[in-house]
Amino acid sequence: MVVFYHVEMLDFCFDSNSYFLPNINKCFQVLCAAGVPLFFMVNGVFTVRKTTTINKLMIRIGRLFFIAVIWTVFLRLFIGGVVLEKGVSLSIRDFYSKYWFFYSLIYTYIINYIIDIAPKWCGHVVLVFLFIVTFVNNFAWDLLLWLNPNQTLPSWGHMGFFTLYGVVYSRIGAYLKNKHYCVPICVVVMVVGYALIIFETIIMSNAEGKLFDGVNAAFPTLGAMLLSCGIFCLLKDLKAQNNTMSRLITLVGINSGGVYVLHYTFIVLVRDKYFMDVMGVQYLSIAANFIIALFVTLLSAYISSLISRSPVKILLKF
């Protein structure tokens, strides 16, 4: 989902001078709003309420910080400076923008550790607070803008509160891992969540006069939460019957961190250097975007598996 979203070769036909309704491209793209939440949820399954020490926590944080810094420098110097010829300058913003997810994981690990060692009521207070200032706050402003499109959205009107919604998602994943719900319930939850994301995309796009992202911006919303929970519960016990499919899923799953680190490099080479520069193509069909995303995902997973068995495995060791 994350790779498909980052391919970014879909035409959404947005016109600020007319009322915006999402076309099929946008309706398909917003499904990617479940990508990062699902990663947080799966991460929560393996880390929340697990006995750890402060030393192990600091080692994990150190690895994430090291990987984020190293690959940010690589992206800016090699991809930005050499491949795209955009120069080699580095700013504080550069160190956060592309690999923001690693810093968000660091915050999540720290807060989850504090919640796990603190009295139960403290953890409940923190989680309720994060849920209200992100998910509830964002939904409330969606409703206000729907009722009054001329309402001015304040800077805090739609926010992820320093991406700390990741804490909520990780706790949800840990809670749902042993829960079992029938398929119809999972599907209903997914459909409701998806409908809320579409609703928000329409409301925000028309209220602000610019195309609402509907993916990154949707992470801290009730729509993305419901969509992610439905998908998580539907797929967590699913097993691939085909051996080839099972091996591919395992390859990507084991190397998901490496895919996140490497995929943007390959997207730049395929999208920017080939399709845009050589072919002169800016937009492609959903199917073509999906094929590119699948190719980049499998290639990134394979390269990641090679690196993980090499002397430089520290570059992808979380």
Tens of pLDDT along 74-104? Answer: 777 766 655 555 555 566 666 567 788 888 9
Task: For residue 256, give the nearest of 62, 110, 73, 105 by alpha carbon.
Answer: 105
Domain span at residue 233 reads 20-241
Residue 312: inside a domain: no
Q: Domain tally for the chain?
A: 1
Comparing 153 with 67, which gets the higher pLDDT?
67
CB neighbourhood size of 82 (10 A) = 10
Q: Per-residue pLDDT for 193 more than 90?
A: yes
The pLDDT of residue 238? 75
Q: Residue 265: inside a domain, yes or no?
A: no
SS in 3 state form for 14-38?
CCCCCCCCCCHHHHHHHHHHHHHHH
Whether residue 130 lies inside any domain: the answer is yes
Residue 219 covered by a domain: yes
Average pLDDT score, the chain: 88
> Does residue 74 lie within any of the structural domains?
yes
CA atoms of 165 and 221, how far apart (whole Å):
9
Sign of CA dihedral 115, 118, 120, 124: negative
Would you say residue 318 has pLDDT above 60?
Answer: yes
Mean pLDDT of 142-170: 86
